[in-house]
C-alpha cells in the first residue's frame, strides 16, 4: 500500500514517521523549504514513546510517485483549498482520502472536489507540536488515529490495510465503524474548548476559576450538543459525560490549540470549528448565545490581523 501524507508538520510528521519506522511505504508531500530541511536533517521526532530520526521519502509535487492508495490530509482547515489543489494530481481511480481535520465542513468540500466515494471519515487525538527547528514534539501519553466509512458499507481494502499499518506502527486507534459520531463528539468538545479558552484567554482550568466559568462551559457544551442532535448525532449520556470530563477538571492545563495560535498572532480555524457550528445551529433554528459571542471575538481578531497584514 502506497501512502501519501500531505505535509510533514506536527500530526502528519508524527503519524507518517511512525508508519515509516514500522516499514510502511510512506511519502510526504511537502513545500520546498520543508523538503530541504528533511533532506538535510531527516525527520526528527522527540516523543514520550521514543525518539527517532530517520530519512524519509519526499515529493514537492502531487504528481510525483502517484497515484497513491491512501492520502492522509493533516492540514489546517484554512489551508484546505490549497491542500486539495496539491493532492489532486496524486488521486487515482482507487485512491482513498483520509482527512484528519476538525469539524465537519471539510468533508463537504472534499466530496465536491473528489467525489464522496473517495472520502472517508478520520480524526486524530495526538498531543504534538513542531518547534522552530522543524522537530516534532510528542508530549502526550497517547497518540490515536481513527478512520472509517461514513456510511454502513463494510470497510474497503485500503482502510483494512491502513488499519494493519497503524497497528504495526504502535499508534492506537485504527478502523472505527462509528467514525461520524466520533467526529461530532470531538467537535462538540473542541468547539466548546476553543470558544471558552479564546474568549476568556486561558486554559480550561483557568476558565473554571471564574465564578460563572463552570456554568458557561456546560452551557456551551449544550449549545453544541443540540446542533449534533439536530444533525442526527446525539452523543448520548455516555458521550456527553466523556466530553464534560475533559472540560471540567479543576486546575487543568488543557487548552485549545486555537488559543496558542491566537496568542502568537497566527491564523486560526475559527470559521471551521466555531463558525460552522453556529451556521448549522441557525439552519436548525437553534440559539447559540455563548458560541455567538466567542465567534464574534474571533472574527474581530481576524479582522485586525488582516488589517495588519495589508
Name the residues annotated as catalytic. Answer: 186
> Do the beta carbons of residue 122 and residue 167 sit within 8 Å?
no
- Bridge partners for 6 per DSSP: 29, 73
The answer to whether 43 touches 8, Cβ cutoff 8 Å, is: yes
Question: What is the grid cell recorded at 211?
Answer: 465564578
Rg over alpha carbons for the chain, rounded to the nearest Å, is 19
d(CA 65, CA 87): 12
Helix (H) or strand (E) holding 169: helix 157-169
Give the phi and the psi of residue 266 in degrees, each rounded to 5.
-90, 180
Q: How far apart are CA 5 and CA 71, in angstroms?
A: 6
CB-CB contact of 158 with 149 (8 Å): no
- DSSP state, residue 154: P
Amino acid at each position: 500500500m502506497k501512502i501519501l501524507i500531505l505535509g510533514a508538520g506536527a500530526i502528519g510528521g508524527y503519524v507518517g514517521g511512525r508508519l515509516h519506522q514500522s516499514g510502511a511505504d510512506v511519502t510526504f508531500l511537502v513545500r520546498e523549504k520543508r523538503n530541504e530541511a528533511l533532506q538535510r536533517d531527516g525527520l526528527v521526532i522527540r516523543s514520550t514513546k521514543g525518539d527517532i530520526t530517520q530519512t524519509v521519502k519526499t515529493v514537492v509535487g502531487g504528481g510525483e510517485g502517484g497515484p497513491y492508495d491512501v492520502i492522509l490530509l493533516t492540514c489546517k482547515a484554512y489551508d484546505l483549498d490549497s491542500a486539495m489543489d496539491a493532492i489532486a494530481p496524486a488521486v487515482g481511480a482507487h485512491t482513498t482520502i483520509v482527512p484528519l481535520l476538525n469539524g465537519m465542513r471539510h468533508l463537504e468540500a472534499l466530496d465536491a472536489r473528489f467525489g464522496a466515494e473517495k472520502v472517508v471519515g478520520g480524526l486524530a487525538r495526538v498531543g504534538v507540536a513542531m518547534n522552530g527547528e522543524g522537530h516534532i514534539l510528542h508530549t502526550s501519553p497517547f497518540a490515536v488515529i481513527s478512520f472509517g466509512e461514513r456510511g454502513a458499507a463494510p470497510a474497503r481494502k485500503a482502510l483494512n490495510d491502513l488499519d494493519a499499518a497503524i497497528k504495526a506502527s504502535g499508534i492506537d486507534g485504527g478502523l472505527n465503524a462509528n467514525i461520524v459520531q466520533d467526529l461530532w463528539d470531538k467537535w462538540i468538545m473542541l468547539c466548546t474548548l476553543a470558544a471558552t479558552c479564546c474568549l476568556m484567554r486561558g486554559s480550561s482550568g483557568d476558565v473554571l476559576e471564574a465564578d460563572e466559568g463552570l456554568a458557561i462551559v456546560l452551557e456551551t457544551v449544550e449549545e453544541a450538543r443540540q446542533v449534533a442532535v439536530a444533525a442526527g448525532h446525539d452523543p448520548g449520556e455516555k458521550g456527553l459525560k466523556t466530553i464534560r470530563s475533559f472540560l471540567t477538571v479543576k486546575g487543568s492545563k488543557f487548552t485549545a490549540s486555537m488559543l496558542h495560535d491566537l496568542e502568537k498572532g497566527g491564523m486560526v480555524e475559527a470559521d471551521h470549528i466555531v463558525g460552522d457550528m453556529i451556521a448549522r445551529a441557525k439552519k436548525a433554528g437553534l440559539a447559540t448565545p455563548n458560541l455567538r459571542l466567542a465567534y464574534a471575538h474571533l472574527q474581530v481578531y481576524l479582522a485586525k490581523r488582516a488589517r495588519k497584514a495589508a
